[in-house]
Amino acid sequence: MLEINEIMYDLKTGSDEDREWVEIYNDSDVPMDLSSFRFFEADTSHKIKLVQGDANVPAKGYAIIAANSVKFKTDWPNFTGIVFDSSFSLSNDGEALMLKDKNLNIIDQYAYWSAFGGAGDGKSLQKITQTGNTVWVAARPTPGMENKIEKKTEIKPIAPVVKSRSIPEKVAVVQNEQKIPVENLAQNLPAQIVKTNNLPTFILILILLLGISVLVAHFIRKKRAVPAVGEDFKILDE
């Protein structure tokens, strides 16, 4: 069966006039003569005329119905497939398209809208069938070739942030994960929170603090051992 397979209705560059085209696909197992068919758009019947290739579209083959075959060849100079010429103007907003046989029986039809894609972005609307399901997608034009869903760029997941309990040199990590210089952090936090990488200096300071603590404790004990004024005289009086 012949079917509407791809629609280029709104080109990205230049005027759309006479540059639009529709691709027809023969989904049967035998060649089919497309020259006796009619193309309908906006409820208007358009004759089609063979200008390149064979009127018999081969099984699983393609043919292009162009609004102007000359301009189509200008846009696609390397195209060597079947081309039919016609005279139509596809709406950029959307409309219903039909393919009818010589007895005006509807063979295939499809209604598109600009919201489906392909609206002046350089893409065409393409019919794709996979695992029995048929969908229309906007993709890079493929006149005379199989329509395929373009692979999307792989998005790699963001690796989780591992919080470190240590404070790197000259960088400290606070609760909101904002990094600030240690020098600024030390002005607002107790000195013991900030770690130092200079181990000998740290040990020396610790020894000095311990020595001062011992001297202070010794001084306090000695002061308590001296009797208060008058106590000696009280003992003699007894």
Q: Bridge-partner residues for 118, per DSSP?
A: none
List pLDDT tens digits, range 137-188.
999 999 999 998 766 533 333 333 333 334 344 433 434 444 444 444 444 4
Locate the domains of the chain by residue range. 2-139, 172-225
What is 2-139's CATH topology? Immunoglobulin-like (2.60.40)
| Range name among 24-28, 50-54, 174-178 with the lowest pLDDT average | 174-178
Sheet containing strand 82-85, edge to edge, reads 49-52, 82-85, 62-66, 21-26, 2-8, 124-130, 133-139
Q: 20 near 92, Cβ under 8 Å?
A: no
* Model confidence band, residue 18 (pLDDT cutoffs 50, 70, 90): very high
122 pLDDT higher than 50: yes
Question: Token pair for residue 216?
Answer: 């202070």
| Tally of CB atoms within 10 A around 149 | 11
* Model confidence band, residue 212 (pLDDT cutoffs 50, 70, 90): confident
pTM of the model: 0.63
